[in-house]
Structure 1
Amino acid sequence: MAALPLNRYAFHTTWSLAAPPGPVFDALVDLARYPDWWPDVRSVTKVDDDTAALVCRSSLPLALRLRMTRLEEDRAAGRVAVRLTGDLDGTLTGQVERSGADGSDGTVLDIRQHVVVDKTVLRVLSPVAHPIFRMNHGLMMRRGLRACAGWSRSPEPGSRSRRLTPTNR
């Protein structure tokens, strides 16, 4: 595989969750509630039925302003795909699948992101800070896994039934 230019990033993250695929898929597509459970997603504003504006900030003191536009949402197949624009330009896909052949309620969420950095300060710093930006993304995704694992998809606010809890991995 050829090396990507330093302002391009390809990320692949896998989350293993001790919850059924349905609630995991619901959490994945409910962007408006991300700030309730994912500390790195600072705000979400609905633009239209298929688009939301997000502000994300991980460990570095740099906020990313993004628009996520739905390309695909197929609950039966467990697939979701969005177009990212703003400080990043590219795509993000998620695949939700039941884990294990034993019929257990575990879920594997496969997340892939292919982006080009458009934010000027990040583009300028990418040649020297590429490994730091990759680490920052990794920290955000680890916090997302921990937070998603504890997030309740119950329709009643404050209820913690049907918790999404992490599997040991």
Structure 2
Amino acid sequence: MSTTRYRFRTRWWLPADQSAVFAMLADLVGYPRWWPDVRSVRRIDGDTAEVRARSSLPFTLVMLLHRIEEDERRGVLAVGLRGDLRGFLRVEVSRDGLGTGVDVVQEVEARSRLLRVLSPWARPLLRLNHAAMMSRGRAGLMRRLAGGAGGTTRETARR
């Protein structure tokens, strides 16, 4: 396996309605309001957006996300990624007991020069960084779904 290829699988459980969760996840432009690691989203067209994300490590990833699938009835969202990461991300949203399960699968290849250089040596650190980002995303989504302020001071100042 290439040291620049990554496969991430994340499972979230949220004490919220499936439709509400799907709507929040489908609204990519709204991510900076609740996910602190998503610094900005700029819509390019109806199916494409530029996303800037920065987690715990001191660099920002710039990616173009292009919608491949959005099917609320089946609870499926999928996007192709280009830019600093290339690959895809697929989300499945489903009822799970008294709440909603969210399964996220990402298969990406590091394309930025920095990530390609770091990957052979810093792979465990990069995986931990991704896990921390996903954890903050879940926490922010839970706050937002509960009606709390999920945004950050930085995001609030942009308004």
TM-score (norm 1): 0.86
1:64-111 superposed Cα distances (whole Å, 9 cap, x missing partner): 0001100000000000100000000000000000002xxx3x000000
Structure with the bigger percentage of helix: 2
Question: What is the alpha-carbon distance in structure 1 between the residues aligned to residue 132 and residue 62 of structure 2?
Answer: 18
Question: What is the alpha-carbon distance in structure 2 between the residues aligned to residue 145 and residue 46 of structure 1?
Answer: 23
Question: What is the alpha-carbon distance in structure 1 between the residues aligned to residue 13 and residue 145 of structure 2?
Answer: 16
Listed as ranges, the gaps of 5+ residues in structure 1 are 154-159, 164-169
Q: Does 1:78 align with 2:75?
A: yes
**CA shift for structure 1 position 45:** 0.2
Question: What is the alpha-carbon distance in structure 1 between the residues aligned to residue 123 and residue 54 of structure 2?
Answer: 17
**CA shift for structure 1 position 125:** 1.0
**CA shift for structure 1 position 152:** 3.5
Question: What is the alpha-carbon distance in structure 1 between the residues aligned to residue 35 and residue 95 of structure 2?
Answer: 22
Count of aligned pairs: 149
Task: Indicate which of 132, 138, 141 corresponds to 2:131.
Answer: 138
1:51 match: 48
**CA shift for structure 1 position 5:** 1.3
1:91-137 superposed Cα distances (whole Å, 9 cap, x missing partner): 0000000002xxx3x00000000000000011011100111100000
Question: What is the alpha-carbon distance in structure 2 between the residues aligned to residue 152 and residue 122 of structure 1?
Answer: 33
2:8 match: 11
RMSD: 1.4
Structure 1 consecutive aligned stretches of length 4 or more whose deviation exceeds 4 Å: none
Larger radius of gyration: 1
Residue identity in the other structure for 2:113: T
1:157 match: none
Listed as ranges, the gaps of 5+ residues in structure 2 are 151-159
Question: What is the alpha-carbon distance in structure 2 between the residues aligned to residue 99 and residue 64 of structure 1?
Answer: 32
1:88 match: 85
TM-score (norm 2): 0.91
